[in-house]
């Protein structure tokens, strides 16, 4: 394991089995339809890449990047769009792909923002969920794993832009973010 990790929470095998299961579920739910998958950069990048290869209905891809104001381990709820979609989503079936739902504030903002653009439908797929931390009522339509309230990195998730390339998900040692002043 990476030396900054306290323990591995989800192995590569855990993740790939779950991604396959979610991809099959999405393929069944959207049978006969086309799907616009919107990845929320940068955290969802790796998950999205693996997920769309397990979906067998026609898919197109777009991306948004948002930044939530706050510290590096906690978001405040105020969200700013750093990169917007390339095209209109009006009349399309949209699936938002997120790495993790924590307080839910980012997702609440995104849902309201995208719903206002008149898509045919909007659903949410998240790899991870920390239900204990929710500050607003949002639920994912597809959820990989509900996890305890611990700060995790890897498989796209970062701390201070690091660790996204680790192929599994690990709990970050507290010393790493406390010493570097993340909180």
User: Which residues contribute to the site for Mg ion (CB under 5 A)?
Assistant: 158
- Torsion (CA) 148, 169, 36, 88 in degrees, nearest 10: 80
Compute the least distance from the CB of residue 157 to Mg ion, in Å: 7
Binding residue for ligand IMP, selected from 5, 10, 75, 176, defined by CB under 6 A: 75
Distance of closest approach, residue 78 Cβ to Mg ion, in angstroms: 15
Query: Does 46 help bind ligand IMP (rule: CB under 6 A)?
Result: no
Q: Which stretch binds ligand IMP (CB under 6 A): 3-11, 46-54, 82-90, 92-100?
A: 92-100
Which listed residue (26, 55, 105, 170) binds ligand IMP by CB under 6 A? 105
Show the tokens assigned to 101: 């739902």
Examine the residue annotation and report whether 102 is marked as an active-site residue of this protein. Answer: yes
* Cross-strand pairs, 170: 8, 153
From the list 23, 43, 119, 144, which residue makes contact with ligand IMP (rule: CB under 6 A)? 43
CA distances from 31 to 27, 55, 120 (A): 6, 10, 15
Cβ 31 to Mg ion, closest distance in Å? 34
Site string for ligand IMP, 106-125 (x = CB under 6 A): xx------------------
Give the residue, chosen from 27, 68, 113, 121, that forms a contact with ligand IMP under the rule CB under 6 A: 68
Query: Which residue reads 């700060």 in tokens?
Result: 151
177, 171 Cβ separation under 8 angstroms: no
- Identify whether the C-beta of residue 47 lies closer than 8 Å to the C-beta of residue 63: no
Q: Which is nearer to ligand IMP, 34 or 175 (CB)?
A: 175
Q: Looking only at residues 142 through 171 of this chain, which bind ligand IMP when binding is defined by CB under 6 A?
A: 151-153, 157
Q: What does the alpha-carbon distance between residue 24 and residue 121 come to, in Å, rounded to a whole number?
A: 19
The residue among 57 and 77 lying less far from ligand IMP, judged by its C-beta, is 77
Compute CA distances 57 → 4, 29, 31, 54, 146, whole Å.
39, 10, 6, 10, 27
Task: Note whether 100 binds ligand IMP by CB under 6 A.
Answer: yes
What distance in Å separates the CA atoms of residue 144 and residue 119, rounded to the nearest whole number?
24
């Amino acid at each position: 394991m990476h030396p900054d990790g306290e323990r591995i929470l989800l192995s590569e095998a855990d993740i790939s089995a779950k991604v396959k299961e979610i991809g099959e579920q999405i393929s069944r739910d959207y049978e006969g339809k086309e799907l616009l998958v919107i990845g929320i950069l940068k955290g969802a990048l790796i998950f999205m890449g693996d997920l769309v290869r397990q979906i067998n209905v026609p898919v197109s891809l777009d991306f948004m990047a948002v930044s939530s104001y706050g510290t590096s381990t906690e978001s405040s709820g105020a969200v700013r769009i750093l990169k917007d979609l390339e095209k209109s989503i009006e009349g399309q079936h949209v699936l938002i792909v997120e790495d993790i739902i924590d307080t839910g504030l980012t997702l609440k903002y995104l849902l309201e923002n995208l719903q206002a653009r008149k898509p045919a439908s909007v659903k949410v797929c998240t790899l991870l969920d920390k239900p204990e931390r929710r500050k607003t009522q949002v639920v994912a339509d597809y959820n990989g794993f509900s996890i305890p309230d611990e700060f995790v990195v890897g498989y796209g998730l970062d701390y201070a832009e690091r660790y996204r390339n680790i192929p599994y998900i690990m709990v970050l040692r507290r010393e790493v973010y406390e010493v570097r002043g993340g909180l």
